[in-house]
Amino acid sequence: MKSVGTMLVGILLMSALVAQGAESGKAAPAVEAAKVSDAGRTALQAAKQVAARCRGLRGPERAAALEQAATAYDKVVADFGAEPAVAALAAFTSAELWRQQGSLPLAEKGYLLAATADAPRYAQRGLIGAADMQRRQKRIDEALATYAKAAAVEPGSSRAQDARLWQARLMQSSHRIDEAIPMFQSALEAADPGSQTIEAANYLALAWIEKGDLDAAGHVLDHAAQSVADVGDDDPLVAERLHKTLEAMSAKKALQRARDKATGAGKDAADLDAVRRQRGT
């Protein structure tokens, strides 16, 4: 009879097989069930038990426990390189633990190992994880390239959309606004109707405001409103949520401020308030 621990690892492995498709909101591509040896399951269960010791810890104790857990999973990667399903799951879990521990280069290494060890299941999320670590280490050009690779793996997924937005945001933060705007535009064109469209439109409008083209920013906001007008017609709760998200777009207030500044309306209003205060009205 299989132990409870072995069964739990089996469930964890099966979850890993479908996670990429499930998290994107789309059906996962058909992937042949991975073959995992009993030894691989046992090794993963042992590493999982080490990771469980991190729960409830804080400060230096937690950091030390995370290091021990990540190291345990790294050993599984080294010992089971011939079993892609085991090695990839161990590498990805190790990367997550190293990330929490604060060792970004080691986390990056784990994400990349997962992406290459079992590409059908981990290529996109592993690449995005690695790009995130490169971005946090200020290695901007490498992060841009890795996000581009991630977006190309499954272009229609929500992860791909996140990768496109991060590419554009990095370009903008690096004062490459002329490169960022077309990237934001591409993200908007690829966005699903609804929250994805609103998010991409918000970023693009803010970029146009930074560029100084307020009319273009206004057109983007109009497009966002029109594109989600019919979304959620069959579900009032969805429609209400989208409407609130649309109204909360930071680009709307930013555009109004920019227009006020351009026309001097803000100064006029301040002068009027000052006169009223002097008159006591």
Tell me the per-residue pLDDT of 67-122, one tens digit each, with 9 for 90 and over: 999 999 999 999 999 999 999 999 999 999 999 999 999 999 999 999 999 999 99
| DSSP secondary structure of 1-49 | ---HHHHHHHHHHHHHHHHHHHHHTSPPPP-PPPP--HHHHHHHHHHHH
C-alpha–C-alpha distance, residues 79 and 60, integer Å: 29
Note every long-range contact of 234-243, with CB atoms under 8 Å and residues 24 or more positions apart, other chains counting.
238/194, 242/194, 242/195, 242/198
Per-residue pLDDT tens for 150-182?
A: 999 999 999 999 999 999 999 999 999 999 999
Task: Work out the percent of the chain whose per-residue pLDDT is above 70.
Answer: 81
More confident residue, 35 or 23: 35
Task: Give the closest residue to 21 by CA, choosing from 100, 123, 112.
Answer: 123
**Structural tokens at position 115:** 């992406």
Confidence check: pLDDT of 22 > 50: no
Confidence check: pLDDT of 280 > 70: no
Q: How confident is the model at residue 268 (pLDDT cuts 50, 70, 90)?
A: low
> Phi and psi dihedrals of 176, rounded to 5?
-115, 55
Inter-residue contact 198 to 165 (CB < 8 Å)? no
Q: How confident is the model at residue 35 (pLDDT cuts 50, 70, 90)?
A: confident
C-alpha–C-alpha distance, residues 243 and 147, integer Å: 30
Average pLDDT, the chain: 87
- pLDDT for 83 equals 96
Inter-residue contact 246 to 226 (CB < 8 Å)? no
Confidence check: pLDDT of 60 > 90: yes
- pLDDT for 30 equals 52
Q: How confident is the model at residue 271 (pLDDT cuts 50, 70, 90)?
A: low
Residue range 183-187: average pLDDT? 97
Q: What pTM was computed for the model?
A: 0.80
- pLDDT for 125 equals 97
Residue range 119-130: average pLDDT? 97
Helices vs. strands in the chain: H and E counts, helices first: 14, 0
More confident residue, 214 or 35: 214
Q: In the chain, what are the domains?
A: 1-153 (1.25.40.10), 175-281 (no CATH)
Give strand ranges (E) for 143-205: none
